[in-house]
Structure 1
Amino acid sequence: MLSIFDQGPPDPCPTPFNLAAHVLRHAPHQSDKIALSVIGANESDDWSYARLETAIRGTATGLLKAGIKPGEIALMRLGNTVEFPIAYLGAIAAGIVPVPTSSQLTVAETQKIIDELAPAVILRDRNVACADHPHQIDLSALENMRDLPPVSYDMGDPNRMAYVVYTSGTSGKPRAVAHAHRAIWARQMMVDGWYGLTPSDRLCHAGAFNWTYTLGTGLMDPWAIGATALIPAAEMDINKLPALLRDHEATIFAAAPGVFRKILQTDESLHMPKLRHGLCAGEKLSRHLHEHWQQATGTGLYEAYGMSEVSTFISSNPDQPARGDALGQPQVGRRIAILGPDGPVAQGDEGTIAVHQTDPGLMLTYLNAPSEADAKMQGVWFLTGDQGAMAVDGQITYLGRDDDMMNAGGYRVSPVEVEAALSKHPGITQVGAAAVEVKEDTYVIAAFYTGPQILDEADLNAYVQENLARYKQPRAFIHLDVLPAGGNGKLLRRALPAYFKV
């Protein structure tokens, strides 16, 4: 059998359609229900569905009054405040195309984006770095728009451009990924396929407002189903998260694996009686971390795999937990394959994870680089660049980025497999693996790890000999105070070899 998952397509996206209208579709009949609580140590800022919709549609009116036209681009240089999702959805409600960006970008980096996209306006927090632009709308002006008369949603073709996000750039130059309004329709496949989300849930996301993981999983998806979103206040100490989850009766907790790891290292009580489970994305969830969390809290962790170009489309969920080291399986409604050079490979064989071109969550293109988008197509399949293997039951094991795959002594080795084995060592808190050059054209596998102290290398060698085939075993172990990570906390494997000294 070939490595193809196809249980039928999702329901077609309605037309005319507007992403923001879909997100706020429950507001008219549950106006008093709390849509968002920004939770602090001593108080919370609560937003009812009515208040939220009023602010978003008023902001949309204000943006149009400021002279921005539907279809034009609004670059978002906003911080970790509620104004971020309000401005984002306000722009989309009006048919304007927002571009959310990390507040950590430098002036030079924002200049490159401005040069590339030629935005009509910049939505600007003056505390966030940004290159000069003739048309900027600051925070106070955005806040004043909230009480304006509500806009009529800009309805239209669900395939028209709705927003743009940038890839992380870990494999080259960051690219502007253009998504259609239908992308939010595709995210419904995550509700059962990953979240296990219901309208009665209170989903807490540990990320900042201005992170796309938070924007989707933490805000828009709960709102689209009529649930309540909980976001910790910007100044919140991570050590206080367990108490917040308990006090605010969170039923689902979403974060990157590193957040779960840090919570487990605190001395805080992890008694959270209302919590049903946790959601992980951003980097591979180690089996050791999952088991530790389950032992400490009595709740499971369910991870998802995705990318900027498609969002998340492979996941485990409470009804279908991942088996062994697998990620889970494609969400029902997706058509996914594992490809070799000649098409889908046999079940169990390694290949490139690919998404069918008809997936409603697949990007439109890379703005100003359509040829690069075309180059990622193999027939009707979009190539993710990630390696995986599909079992007979559809579960997919992630084997790492194609360009992260290590080659030592002629063997291709997944860094994820090496990291999974070492992450179970009691003296290691986080680990990354990479091939390093020990002499010209000679590479060995090195393990870079963090932990309370430097571990005895002989003991580590004995440990990997027990847990990994010889060709997979690291030949060097480097203790670091912290592993290199990107702005979203994801491990940067490409940066690891720089820490190796022959």
Structure 2
Amino acid sequence: MTAIFDSGASAPCPSLFNMAAYVLAHADDLPDKIALSVLSVGGADRWSYARLAAAVRGTGTGLLRAGFQPGDILMMRLGNTVEFPIAYLGAIAVGLVPVPTSSQLTAAEVEKMVAALGPAGVLHDAEVPCPTDPGVPVIDTDALQAMRDLPPCDYAMGDPERLAYIVFTSGTSGMPRAVCHAHRAIWARRMMHEGWYDLNRDDRLLHAGAFNWTFTLGTGLMDPWSVGATALIPAQGVGPETLPLLLKRHDATIFAAAPGVYRKVLNHHEQLDLPRLRHGLAAGEKLSDSIRQHWNDATGTRIYEAYGMSECSTFISGSPLHPSRPGMLGQPQMGRRVAIVDDAGQPVPMGAPGTIAVSTRDPGLMLGYLGAEEETAARIKGEWFITGDQGHMDEDGQIAYHGRDDDMMNAGGYRVSPLEVEAALLAHPGIIEAGATDIEVKENVRLIAAFYTGPADIPEAELRAWCAERLARYKQPRLFRRLDAMPTNPNGKLQRKSLKELV
């Protein structure tokens, strides 16, 4: 019996489709219901479905009046505010292609992305780093906010296979890769509603992430809105220690966060009184058994873990209807076709280790990497998209995660390429060789460590400042160590796994 899970194909996406129209469809039947509450300790900024849809469609009109044409790419350099999802959906509504990016990125990092994208414009909050002259029109937040009151745009309906948005992910090449997604990607997320969330229109889902994180955009906003539920997002500056207060005060029924956020909450609260909470959701990095158990003890609710990636979002998960067994991630969601394959892309026997792969027929799979056809093709073997993560499948379809087969690092839920960190270090005049890896400094806490060779020790403060100018904060090493020589294999290739043993 081969390690393939196939419960049958999901319902096909409508032939005429627009992602923003789908997400905001409940503005017609639930106009006065609260779609979004931005939460602070002192209160909440509430947006009804009617108000949200009007702002989105007005923004769509404004972007077209600004001279942008359907198909144009717009880079988003906006902060952790409601302006982010409004601009994102406003662009998609009229057939523009938004590119959400983390506000933590430096101007130097963004400059490389602009060069790779060739955008028609940049949506920019003055508080967010951006190249001084990106060479294209810049729309600031004042202009975006003024667009909200414009007449509503018509939704640009069309082929669900056409490009809708682009996200960046770190890759083994060391340069962030532009991942292209079709409008159908949001339709594919319907499989998560039962297979991970157990989501319905009566839910109030609080996501702990920032507006401009793709995990928040999907799980915290797009999915709740598509079923008519209420999204709850903490305002900028709200810390993990305050989340239990907001969860209780605003009657949250589902809580979503990266595992590190759960850990921080539990560090501040041994017991939590959350009578309306049904369960938690975790993604972004591996959830440890200790956090899972501690949360259950503190709240009486379970956390359901999910596995996904920028190229295909979440497709393996535990859920209230199908809980994962101890030591397992969960099972592929109904409608998915997933396998464990060998190096040749052939499914292995059930129970045997291999690489997790998802069918190229999956409606949530990316269109490809922008301008990188060869790299896109290299990730596909036969009918399978190869994730690069190792695991095995049991006969009931549940999958265990064995780890990554590359050197990708995980920092607070963000996947980070060591090559990108090493490139920043190698630009320093006092560094000859560089290596980076993530290390576990205590249970459930990982950080990036940097190693280098050079003629002399470099003050740590100098290295921290050097990296801060070139790397987003979540990519910056927290530990630096000079070595006499880097660990290499007989062919001279850096062995990053050996670096972990030096700490």
TM range (shorter): 0.7 to 0.9
The corresponding residue for 2:486 is none
Contact kept? 1:34, 1:49, Cα under 8 Å: yes
Deviation for aligned residue 1:108: 1.2
Contact kept? 2:279, 2:303, Cα under 8 Å: yes
- 1:78-93 to 2 correspondences below 5 Å: 78-93=78-93
Provide the rounded CA distance (Å) in 2 between the counterparts of 1:237 and 1:2. Answer: 46
What SS does the corresponding residue of 2:165 show, helix, strand or coil? strand
The corresponding residue for 1:349 is 352
The correspondence for 2:152, drawn from 140, 143, 150, is 150
The correspondence for 1:228, drawn from 227, 230, 254, is 230
Provide the rounded CA distance (Å) in 2 between the counterparts of 1:6 and 1:69. Answer: 40
Unaligned ranges ≥5, structure 1:
406-414, 417-433, 435-444, 453-484
Residue-by-residue CA offset, 1:147-201 (whole Å, 9 max, x unaligned): 1000000000000000000113466321100000000000000000000111000
Provide the rounded CA distance (Å) in 1 between the counterparts of 2:279 and 2:150. Answer: 40
Alignment of 1:54 onto 2:57: no
Assess, with a 3 A threshold, how the Cα gap between structure 1 residues 62 and 338 changes in structure 2: closer, same or farther: same
2:238 corresponds to which letter in structure 1? M
2:112 corresponds to which letter in structure 1? K
What SS does the corresponding residue of 1:388 show, helix, strand or coil? strand
Alignment of 1:395 onto 2:398: yes
Residue-by-residue CA offset, 1:332-375 (whole Å, 9 max, x unaligned): 00000100134000011011111111100000010011110101
The corresponding residue for 2:375 is 372
1:120 corresponds to which letter in structure 2? A
Contact kept? 1:56, 1:146, Cα under 8 Å: yes
Provide the rounded CA distance (Å) in 2 between the counterparts of 1:449 and 1:146. Answer: 47
Residue-by-residue CA offset, 1:29-56 (whole Å, 9 max, x unaligned): 1000000000100110000000000000
The corresponding residue for 1:449 is 441
Contact kept? 2:101, 2:168, Cα under 8 Å: yes
Q: Give the RMSD, CA atoms, in angstroms.
A: 2.5
Provide the rounded CA distance (Å) in 2 between the counterparts of 1:188 and 1:198. Answer: 11
Unaligned ranges ≥5, structure 2:
411-417, 419-436, 445-470, 480-494
Contact kept? 1:282, 1:490, Cα under 8 Å: no
1:366 corresponds to which letter in structure 2? Y
Alignment of 1:260 onto 2:262: yes
The corresponding residue for 2:448 is none
- 1:433-472 to 2 correspondences below 5 Å: 448-450=440-442
Deviation for aligned residue 1:277: 0.2
The corresponding residue for 1:74 is 74
Contact kept? 2:105, 2:472, Cα under 8 Å: no
Provide the rounded CA distance (Å) in 2 between the counterparts of 1:322 and 1:486. Answer: 34
1:145 corresponds to which letter in structure 2? M
Contact kept? 1:357, 1:381, Cα under 8 Å: yes
Provide the rounded CA distance (Å) in 2 between the counterparts of 1:254 and 1:394. Answer: 25
Residue-by-residue CA offset, 1:110-142 (whole Å, 9 max, x unaligned): 111111111000000011111122300000000
Residue-by-residue CA offset, 1:408-462 (whole Å, 9 max, x unaligned): xxxxxxx99xxxxxxxxxxxxxxxxx9xxxxxxxxxx99732379xxxxxxxxxx
1:310 corresponds to which letter in structure 2? C
Assess, with a 3 A threshold, how the Cα gap between structure 1 residues 169 and 279 changes in structure 2: closer, same or farther: same
The corresponding residue for 1:474 is none
Assess, with a 3 A threshold, how the Cα gap between structure 1 residues 363 and 392 changes in structure 2: closer, same or farther: same
1:241 corresponds to which letter in structure 2? L
Assess, with a 3 A threshold, how the Cα gap between structure 1 residues 490 and 215 changes in structure 2: closer, same or farther: farther
The corresponding residue for 1:99 is 99
The corresponding residue for 1:216 is 218
What SS does the corresponding residue of 2:25 show, helix, strand or coil? coil
Deviation for aligned residue 1:319: 1.2
The corresponding residue for 2:384 is 381
1:354 corresponds to which letter in structure 2? A
Deviation for aligned residue 1:261: 0.5
The corresponding residue for 1:197 is 199
The corresponding residue for 1:441 is none
- Identity of counterpart residues, as a percentage? 60
1:46 corresponds to which letter in structure 2? R
Contact kept? 1:72, 1:119, Cα under 8 Å: yes
2:296 corresponds to which letter in structure 1? Q
Provide the rounded CA distance (Å) in 2 between the counterparts of 1:115 and 1:178. Answer: 16
Provide the rounded CA distance (Å) in 1 between the counterparts of 2:443 and 2:204. Answer: 34
The corresponding residue for 1:471 is none
Contact kept? 2:162, 2:183, Cα under 8 Å: yes
Provide the rounded CA distance (Å) in 2 between the counterparts of 1:486 and 1:397. Answer: 31
What SS does the corresponding residue of 1:265 show, helix, strand or coil? helix
Provide the rounded CA distance (Å) in 1 between the counterparts of 2:439 and 2:129. Answer: 36
2:38 corresponds to which letter in structure 1? V
Provide the rounded CA distance (Å) in 1 between the counterparts of 2:24 and 2:35. Answer: 10
Assess, with a 3 A threshold, how the Cα gap between structure 1 residues 403 and 451 changes in structure 2: closer, same or farther: closer
Structure-1-length-normalised TM-score: 0.83
The corresponding residue for 2:167 is 165
Provide the rounded CA distance (Å) in 1 between the counterparts of 2:163 and 2:474. Answer: 25
What SS does the corresponding residue of 1:26 show, helix, strand or coil? helix
Assess, with a 3 A threshold, how the Cα gap between structure 1 residues 404 and 119 changes in structure 2: closer, same or farther: closer
1:167 corresponds to which letter in structure 2? T
Assess, with a 3 A threshold, how the Cα gap between structure 1 residues 349 and 232 changes in structure 2: closer, same or farther: same
Contact kept? 1:219, 1:229, Cα under 8 Å: yes
